[in-house]
Amino acid sequence: MTFAIDWQSLHLLRPWWLLALLPAFWLAWRSWRAQNRSSDWSKVVDAELLPHLLEGEQSTRRRFWPLLMLCGWVIATLAISGPAWQKLPQPLYMQESALVILLDLSRSMDANDLTPSRLTHARLKILDILAQRHEGQTGLVVYTDEAYVVSPLTDDNRTIANLVPALSSEVMPSQGSRLSVAIERANKLLDDAGFQNAQLLVVSDGVNDQRAFDLAQQLATQNRTLSTLAIGNQQGSPIPLSSGGFLKDSDGAIVISKADHASLQRIAALGGGRYTPLRHDGSDLTTLFPEELQPLDHGVESERQQSQQQWHDEGVWLLLPLLILAAFAFRRGWLFSVVFCVLLIQPQTSYALEWDHLWQSRDQQAANTMQLQQFQQAAEQFADPLWQASALYRAGDYQQAAELFSQYNTADSHYNRGNALAKAGQLPEAIAAYQAALEIDPKHQDSQFNLALLQSLMEQQQDQQSDSNQQGDEGEQQAGESQQQGEDGEPQSQPGEQSGEQSEQQPSSSQPSNSEENPNASESSAATEQNESTEEGDDTAQATQQTENKTGDESNAEQAQQAEPQESAQSESDAAAEEQAQYLQQWLRRIPDDPGGLLRRKFEQQHQQQQPQQREEHQPW
């Protein structure tokens, strides 16, 4: 913001407001004239007595207020008229277009004629569309034999982009390829959102639904178009299965899925849209969205920026002198108003309040916080215990999350509680939680998988624990044998030749024959020589002392031999515990982070709620 006024560019955005000055001047003139008439005592009072009869200050004050009101009126009128002298870039409009993407999730999209699969290329292309679409609202519908809404119309493309990688044919509760139900679901989304002009984009490898062609032709009457993006080539390839092998038909022959570009081109022509095959250079998106997604060169961008330049209304600055004049309107309380304004200027603690928060519940605000990866803050905002537990789980507070999940007696709640307990290292409690989930829903596949995984882990831990116990028992047995050997060698540990013979019989003992290797031997010989030249009493005392020294040395050796297997067993136990902890961490990493599980259960629930209808026979892929 610059305060330099360009007088040549100065003009009024709303000049007709200057007409409001005419009644202001007229009222000011009438007020001034009335005051002169009411206070014109000079005609009836002598001029010498007039100063003593009139209060000059009061007369001046009465004449001051009309002038003050006139100044305020003029300043307010000029502010409303919109003085402007500079242009600032401002968005002129927001494009209110609507796009609904219809993604085919039938088995044929798993064909690998496009490496690694057609569906992988389709997902990447949808992510490109979401990344380049900056205006309007976008929705996503997936379909096989039935259609399901992944995301309603929204301008938050990042949320849709987070869901796209989880889309696969395995999340769908049924198979088939009926585009007609997807078109009907897309029309319902557009009608509910109030969009008349909209575009439908079909991402598929072919259309074999005759009713879809009829619906596409009806879209023209609704000011809606249908475009197609063909995935796959016409040579085709087998459809691999996740369990291994390839998809086969009822006769046992391997199905070769070929992309039907002709049907996609035909339905796009009936729907008044565009058709293009998948291309890796981005020209397919340029064909489908020539205006919305086409990159702009520098020249076009400069022209658009100039077209977005608007005169900036500077009338707000005239409110400052108007506030000063308003302070005098308080008359006796004008000083208080000035002090109050000064206090408002002082910096205060600000609290961010978005307008959207006024129309959102606590759970909706917490969900937005959760999308920003602020899980701990989201857990504090959530009012719903299940959402709060999910936020705590992602924040790493598994114990608290498990306690919140335990408040509900549903299969999903027990399953989530089991995951939290497993993350917390409480494997037996996690197994019990998975078993509780299977008691409510025996077909809960995620609980079955995690339960089997935990049970196998517990068995491996028990095997490792039994192996470590056996190693500990062997260590204790070796310690006992060493102790027994020490007891057997104790009466034979005499000085002289017997000690040497005992050393030869027990290789585990140190050789005492060399005085340099065993200082105890030199001490024994010195003691023997001294015994020859001393009295009997001294000889007996010396022999007793020598025997005690020998006994103490042997006791220390026995303690050292006992300590060695104990330390070995302790180190083996620590190694086993560390190995168990590492294995637990590896197992926790093996727990599948299945983002498609939520979509799978959502689609299954919708599939069960839908009423069975009479449908034409279509190929199941």
Pick the residue with more confidence: 543 or 191?
191
Confidence of residue 11 (pLDDT cuts 50, 70, 90): confident
Q: Is residue 277 part of a domain?
A: yes
Q: What is the CATH number of the domain that holds 411?
A: 1.25.40.10
Q: Which of 326-340, 422-436, 562-576 has the highest mean pLDDT?
A: 422-436
Q: Is residue 118 part of a domain?
A: yes
Q: Is the pLDDT of residue 74 over 70?
A: yes
Per-residue confidence (pLDDT) for residue 212, from 0 to 100 = 94
Q: Is residue 390 part of a domain?
A: yes
Q: Which of 448-457, 506-515, 520-529 has the highest mean pLDDT?
A: 448-457
Q: Are residues 131 and 265 in the same domain?
A: yes
Per-residue confidence (pLDDT) for residue 425, from 0 to 100 = 85
Give the neighbor-by-neighbor strand order of the sheet with 137-143: 147-154, 137-143, 98-104, 198-204, 224-230, 272-277
Pick the residue with more confidence: 31 or 98?
98
Q: Is residue 503 part of a domain?
A: no
Q: Which of 54-58, 364-368, 432-436, 549-553 has the highest mean pLDDT?
A: 432-436
- What is the percent of the chain where pLDDT is above 70? 61
Q: Is residue 130 part of a domain?
A: yes
Pick the residue with more confidence: 392 or 71?
392
Q: Is the pLDDT of residue 4 over 80?
A: no
Per-residue confidence (pLDDT) for residue 603, from 0 to 100 = 77
Q: Provide the token pair at 56.
A: 């000059």
| Average pLDDT of the segment spanning 5-14 | 78
Q: Which of 117-126, 401-410, 496-505, 601-610 has the highest mean pLDDT?
A: 117-126
Q: Is the pLDDT of residue 454 over 80?
A: yes
Q: Are residues 383 and 320 in the same domain?
A: no
The Cα–Cα gap between 446 and 444 comes to: 6
Q: Are residues 121 and 72 in the same domain?
A: no
Per-residue confidence (pLDDT) for residue 587, from 0 to 100 = 63
Per-residue confidence (pLDDT) for residue 615, from 0 to 100 = 47
Per-residue confidence (pLDDT) for residue 354, from 0 to 100 = 52
Q: Are residues 133 and 23 in the same domain?
A: no
Q: What is the largest CA-CA distance in the chain?
A: 160
Please tell me the least confidently modeled range out of 202-206, 266-270, 559-563.
559-563
> Residue type for 94, please?
M
Per-residue confidence (pLDDT) for residue 328, from 0 to 100 = 67
Q: Is the pLDDT of residue 248 over 50?
A: yes
Per-residue confidence (pLDDT) for residue 302, from 0 to 100 = 37
| Average pLDDT of the segment spanning 158-178 | 90
Q: Provide the token pair at 564.
A: 């060695």
Pick the residue with more confidence: 168 or 530?
168
| Average pLDDT of the segment spanning 165-183 | 90
Q: Are residues 196 and 159 in the same domain?
A: yes
Per-residue confidence (pLDDT) for residue 527, from 0 to 100 = 36
Q: Are residues 371 and 443 in the same domain?
A: yes
Q: Which of 20, 212, 61, 203 is nearest to 119 (CA)?
A: 203
Number of domains in the chain: 3
| Average pLDDT of the segment spanning 485-514 | 38
Q: In this structure, what DSSP letter does residue 295 have?
A: P
Mean of all residue pLDDT scores within the chain? 73
**pLDDT tens for each residue of 501-520:** 333 333 333 333 333 334 33
Distances in Å between the Cα of 426 and the Cα atoms of 132, 208, 344, 359 are 46, 52, 56, 41
Q: Are residues 154 and 17 in the same domain?
A: no
Q: Are residues 172 and 112 in the same domain?
A: yes
Q: Is residue 554 part of a domain?
A: no
Q: Which of 201-205, 413-417, 490-494, 554-558 has the highest mean pLDDT?
A: 201-205
Q: Is the pLDDT of residue 574 over 70?
A: no
Q: Provide the token pair at 296.
A: 């702009």
Other CB atoms within a 10 A radius of the CB of residue 274 amount to 20
Per-residue confidence (pLDDT) for residue 277, from 0 to 100 = 95
Residues 6+ apart with CB under 8 A from 150: 140, 141, 142, 160, 163, 167, 599
Other CB atoms within a 10 A radius of the CB of residue 284 amount to 20
Confidence of residue 103 (pLDDT cuts 50, 70, 90): very high
Confidence of residue 213 (pLDDT cuts 50, 70, 90): very high
Q: Is residue 538 part of a domain?
A: no
| Average pLDDT of the segment spanning 581-587 | 68
Q: Provide the token pair at 32.
A: 């001034």
Which residues, in sequence order, are bridge partners of residue 560? none
Per-residue confidence (pLDDT) for residue 369, from 0 to 100 = 84
Other CB atoms within a 10 A radius of the CB of residue 204 amount to 28
Pick the residue with more confidence: 607 or 44?
607
Q: Is the pLDDT of residue 276 over 70?
A: yes
DSSP alpha helix (H) spans, 2-55: 21-38, 50-53
**pLDDT tens for each residue of 317-356:** 888 887 777 766 665 455 455 455 555 555 554 444 455 5
Q: Are residues 139 and 279 in the same domain?
A: yes
The domain in which residue 322 lies consists of: 12-36+56-86+314-330
Confidence of residue 207 (pLDDT cuts 50, 70, 90): very high
Confidence of residue 471 (pLDDT cuts 50, 70, 90): low
Per-residue confidence (pLDDT) for residue 619, from 0 to 100 = 60
Distances in Å between the Cα of 35 and the Cα atoms of 63, 80, 431 are 7, 30, 95
Q: Are residues 393 and 455 in the same domain?
A: yes
Q: Is the pLDDT of residue 267 over 90?
A: yes
Per-residue confidence (pLDDT) for residue 1, from 0 to 100 = 47
Say if CB 128 and CB 285 are below 8 A apart: yes
∠ CA 360-362-368, rounded to 5°: 75
Cα 32 versus chain centre, distance: 70
Q: Which of 224-233, 238-247, 323-332 has the highest mean pLDDT?
A: 224-233
Confidence of residue 597 (pLDDT cuts 50, 70, 90): low
Residues 6+ apart with CB under 8 A from 405: 386, 389, 413, 414, 416, 417, 420
Q: Is residue 23 part of a domain?
A: yes
Q: Are residues 146 and 212 in the same domain?
A: yes
Q: Are residues 266 and 140 in the same domain?
A: yes
Q: What is the CATH number of the domain that holds 152?
A: 3.40.50.410
Say if CB 442 and CB 434 are below 8 A apart: no
